[in-house]
């Protein structure tokens, strides 16, 4: 049965549900297939994106997130431009190839101008060599354009849950948390020619297997260039915490994430897929397992050590005590174990995106 599905060119929703439920030998065949697809279409290189979580100040109130606006227990920080640039220099010196600037969501002219200036500085101090991904939430077309023109060429904006009803259960119902607006932003980013990435959380309360299958089809239909998805991890100081009794055990959320990444790799062979930090919070070698079966991007945290504890999206976030140097050494060893190789000094752009652009010339 599973062979028949794995040999198809396109998966239906029912096929995906079957794959998400498979066990034992069938599960092994699924992972074997996605490993093969990965080697065949993108090889065994893993690209690094040095991640700077430069501010945990956020205007939103997502029910699952530890740094939501109404959580008064969070020590808010906003790293200075010079500290951000120091972290970026670390990434440049160590040949990371790319950096990601991530923050809580803020929509203001001041914020737009600040990012624009930072982008230009990063390009300057790296001789235009570092690739830059932004992950700064929903913004106007004008702001996205400004940032693109200042050097950002990839953007991550997770849809979090592609099913509108589920999305509504995870966010307050108001203009600031509109599912439609988020989809609109993803389309804008694509239109502006960003390599656009999205993703979801896996194992959320109220989420069904059908929802997860819809998530994968959503990514396929949107024709994304990149994906970052990981397990939902509960946070005590959030409204969603009271539904913790509805959750699958963490190891099952991890298992489901492996299957989601494996299936997505088969559905979209040439996109970039990240092995996210949340995976490591559940399984110490979680990211390595995910690289074996399909992921090709790692985002080592290069946020200055003293701030790391405060970017607390979920509990037990890993690497918060480590310095950027520790992470680097640790990662190298880890990638070897996964049988992969680091693509030092390369942008490692999404092949899916590059080839599509060539077709359109
Ligand atoms: N568990 C897992 N991931 C989370 N995020 C936010 N809160 C949590 C949580 N409790 C993720 C969201 C967001 C990204 C920056 O972090 O998907 O897009
Ligand atoms: Fe803000 Fe993002 Fe957390 Fe939502 S998930 S509260 S937008 S940091
Ligand atoms: Fe951060 Fe290992 S990856 S310490």
Question: For residues 198 and 208, what is the distance between their CA atoms, to the nearest angstrom?
Answer: 19
**What per-residue confidence (pLDDT) applies to 361?**
58
- Return the ∠ at Cα 154 (arms to 80 and 97), rounded to 5°: 70
- How far apart are alpha carbons 333 and 317 in whole angstroms? 20
> Please, which residues bridge with residue 272 across strands?
226
- What 3 state SS string does the chain have? CHHHHHCCCCCCHHHHHHHHHCCHHHHHHHHHHHHHHHHHHHCCEEEEEEEEEEECCCCCCCCCCCCCCCCCCCCCCECCHHHHHHHHHHHHHCCCEEEEEEECCCCCHHHHHHHHHHHHHHHHHCCCCCEEEEECCCCCHHHHHHHHHCCCCEEECCCECCCHHHHHHHCCCCHHHCHHHHHHHHHHHHHCCCEEEECEEECCCCCCHHHHHHHHHHHHHHCCCEEECEECCCCCCCHHHHHHHHCCCHHHHHHHHHHHHHHHHHHCCCCEEEECHHHHHHCCCHHHHHHHHCCCEECCECCCHHHHCCCCCCCCCCCCCCCHHHHHHHHHHHHHHCCCEECCCCCCCCHHHHHHHHHCC
What's the pLDDT score for residue 267?
98
pLDDT of residue 321: 67
Ligand 1 pocket (Cβ < 6 Å) reads: 64-65, 158, 160, 201, 230, 232-233, 235, 278, 313-314
If you measure from the C-alpha of residue 251 to the centroid of ligand 3, how many angstroms do you get, rounded to a whole number? 20
CA gap 52, 22 in Å, rounded: 37
* Cα 15 to Cα 120: distance, rounded to the nearest angstrom: 46
361 contacts: CB under 8 Å, gap ≥ 6: none
Report d(CA 158, CA 64) in Å as an integer: 14
Give residue 228 CA to ligand 3 midpoint distance, Å. 18
Each domain of the chain, given as residue ranges in start order, spans: 2-359
Residue 220 and residue 268 in contact, taking contact as beta carbons nearer than 8 Å: yes
Which of 53, 69, 104, 237 has most ligand 2 atoms within 8 Å of CB, for mutation? Answer: 104
Hey, what are 111's tokens?
Answer: 């914020």
- The pTM assigned to this predicted structure is 0.95
The pLDDT tens digits along the chain (361 residues) read 899 999 999 999 999 999 999 999 999 999 999 999 999 999 999 999 999 999 999 999 999 999 999 999 999 999 999 999 999 999 999 899 999 999 999 999 999 999 999 999 999 999 999 999 999 999 999 999 999 999 999 999 999 999 999 999 999 999 999 999 999 999 999 999 999 999 999 999 999 999 999 999 999 999 999 999 999 999 999 999 999 999 999 999 999 999 999 999 999 999 999 998 888 888 888 888 999 999 999 998 888 877 777 777 767 677 676 677 777 777 788 888 888 999 988 999 999 998 887 776 5
Q: What is the reported pLDDT for 212?
A: 98
Ligand nearest to the CA of 315: 1
Residue from 8, 41, 42, 13 nearest 218 by CA = 13
pLDDT at 322: 66
CA pair distance 347, 296, nearest whole angstrom: 12
Please name which ligand lies nearest the alpha carbon of 237: 1
For a mutational test of ligand 1's pocket, the pick from 314, 315, 316, 317, i.e. the residue with the most ligand atoms closer than 8 A to its C-beta, is 314
- Residue 44: both structure tokens together: 């065994």
**143 C-alpha to ligand 1 centroid (Å):** 23
**CA 251 to chain CA centroid, nearest Å:** 20
58, 307 contact by CB (below 8 A): no
Do residues 317 and 297 touch, judged by C-beta distance below 8 A? no
23 within 8 A of 223, measured Cβ to Cβ: no
Residue from 60, 225, 261 nearest 253 by CA: 261
Q: How far is the CA of 302 from the centre of ligand 3 (A)?
A: 10
Cβ contacts of residue 115 below 8 Å, gap of 6+? 101, 134, 136, 147, 150
Q: Ligand 3 centroid to 34 CA: how many Å?
A: 25
Q: Ligand 3 center to residue 285 CA distance, Å?
A: 10
Of the ligands numbered here, which is closest to the C-alpha atom of 286? 3
d(Cα 43, Cα 181) in Å, to the nearest integer?
Answer: 36
- Which atom of ligand 1 sits closest to the CA of residue 234? 10
Structurally, at CATH architecture level, domain 2-359 sits in Alpha-Beta Barrel (3.20)
In a mutational test of the pocket of ligand 1, which residue from 60, 136, 201, 278 has the highest number of ligand atoms less than 8 Å from its CB?
A: 201
Alpha-carbon span 358 to 361, nearest angstrom: 5
């Amino acid at each position: 049965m599973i062979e028949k599905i794995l040999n198809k060119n396109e998966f239906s929703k029912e096929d995906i549900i079957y794959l998400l439920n498979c066990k034992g030998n069938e599960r092994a065949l699924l992972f074997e297939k996605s490993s093969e697809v990965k080697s065949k279409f993108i090889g065994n290189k893993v690209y690094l994106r040095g991640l700077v979580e430069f501010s945990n100040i956020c205007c939103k109130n997502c029910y699952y997130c530890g740094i939501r606006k109404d959580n008064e227990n969070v020590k808010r920080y906003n790293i200075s431009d010079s500290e951000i640039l120091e972290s970026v220099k670390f990434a440049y010196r160590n040949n990371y190839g790319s950096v990601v600037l991530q923050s809580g969501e803020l929509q203001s002219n001041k914020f737009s101008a600040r990012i624009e200036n930072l982008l230009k500085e990063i390009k300057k101090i790296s001789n235009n060599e570092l690739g830059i991904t932004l992950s700064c939430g929903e913004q106007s077309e004008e702001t996205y354009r400004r940032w693109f023109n200042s050097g950002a060429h990839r953007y991550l904006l997770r849809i979090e849950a592609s099913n509108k009803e589920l999305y509504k259960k995870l966010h307050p119902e108001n203009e600031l948390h509109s599912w439609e607006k988020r989809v609109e932003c993803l389309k804008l980013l694509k239109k502006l020619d960003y390599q656009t990435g999205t993703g979801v959380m896996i194992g959320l309360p109220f989420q069904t297997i059908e929802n997860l299958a819809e998530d994968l089809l959503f990514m396929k239909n949107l024709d994304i260039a990149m994906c970052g998805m990981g397990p939902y991890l509960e946070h005590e100081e959030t409204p969603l915490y009271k539904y913790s009794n509805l959750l699958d055990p963490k190891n099952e959320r991890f298992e489901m994430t492996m299957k989601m990444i494996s299936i997505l790799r088969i559905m979209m062979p040439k996109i970039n897929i990240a092995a996210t930090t949340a995976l490591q919070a559940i399984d110490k070698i979680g990211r390595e397992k995910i690289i074996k079966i399909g992921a090709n991007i790692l985002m080592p945290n290069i946020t200055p050590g003293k701030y790391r504890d405060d970017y607390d999206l979920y509990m037990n976030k890993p690497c918060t005590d480590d310095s950027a140097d520790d992470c680097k050494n640790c990662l190298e060893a880890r990638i070897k174990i996964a049988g992969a190789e680091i693509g030092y000094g390369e942008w490692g752009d999404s092949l899916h995106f590059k080839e599509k652009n060539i077709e359109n010339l």
